[in-house]
Amino acid sequence: MNELVKYIVVGLLYVLLQLFVFNHLTAFHLATPVVFILFLLMLPIDTPRPVLYLTAFTMGLIIDIFSENSVAGLHTFSSLLAVAFRSRLLILLGASGARGMDEFSFQNQGLLWYMAYLLPLIFIHHLAYFLLESLSFSQVFYTLFKAMVNTLYSFLFCYLICLIFYRK
């Protein structure tokens, strides 16, 4: 119960930070850091998948509604998609599965591990986001470029947060 309250408070903090700080850190009118997704990606490894999906859905929807002019459903869709690939990637990285479950923790991983884990998922989020936003493939290279720049920018902030808060 205590844990649950803690996660709800942390989740709310992420939403508030995203809305009031990170949404305004746009660089060159091109890249905006998306940080709330870190909360979803850093949830305990044994979180049941339905809980994961419903959290991603709710969080994405809240961000969508209160972001100054995101379209309803954009963050919802893309964060769901990113979270859907989470467990696959964790197995691939050897963190979960038959063996790793007990001893693995998100804390105190190195930069390389964070890159291998966060970069692909954040990229999935951004790619889905920008493709859906333009709803066409006509400017697919520009969209790809935008997704990549945004991924790197978001990763920077996510890594900083990991360094500061996900450390024991």
Partner 1 sequence: MFRLLKLISSFQNTLLLAFLLLLAFLMVVRYNQQQRHIMGDTLLEISGRVHKQQSKLLAFLRLPQQNDSLMVRTRELEKQKDSLFAQLQALRNQLLADTLDMGYVDSLYPAREQFDYIPCFAIQNTLHKSYNHILIDKGRKQGIRPGMGLVSPSGVAGRVVEVSDNFSLALSALNLSFKLSVMLEGTDYTGVYEWAEGNYQYGYIDALPLDAESLLEKSQKVVTSGVSTVFPRGYLVGTIASTENLSQDGFLRVKIKLATDFNRLYNLFAIDARHLPEIEELNERMNSDE
Phi/psi for 77 (5° steps) reads -65, -50
SS3 at position 79: helix
Strand partners, 27: 31
Tokens of 116: 């291998």
One character per residue 3-42, x = contact with partner 1 (rule: CB under 8 A): -----------------x-----x--xx-x----------
Which of 94, 111, 142, 160 touches partner 1 by CB under 8 A? 142
Contacts to partner 1 from residues 38-77, by CB under 8 A: 49-50, 53-54, 56-57, 60, 65-66, 68-69, 71-74, 76-77
Residues 45, 25: Cα–Cα separation, whole Å: 30
Closer of 27 and 163 to partner 1 (Cβ): 27
Q: CB–CB of 86/121 below 8 Å? A: yes
List binders of partner 1 among 79-118 (CB under 8 A): 80-81, 84
The answer to whether 135 and 12 have CB atoms below 8 angstroms apart is no
Binding stretches for partner 1 (CB under 8 A): 20, 26, 29-30, 32, 49-50, 53-54, 56-57, 60, 65-66, 68-69, 71-74, 76-77, 80-81, 84, 132-135, 139, 142
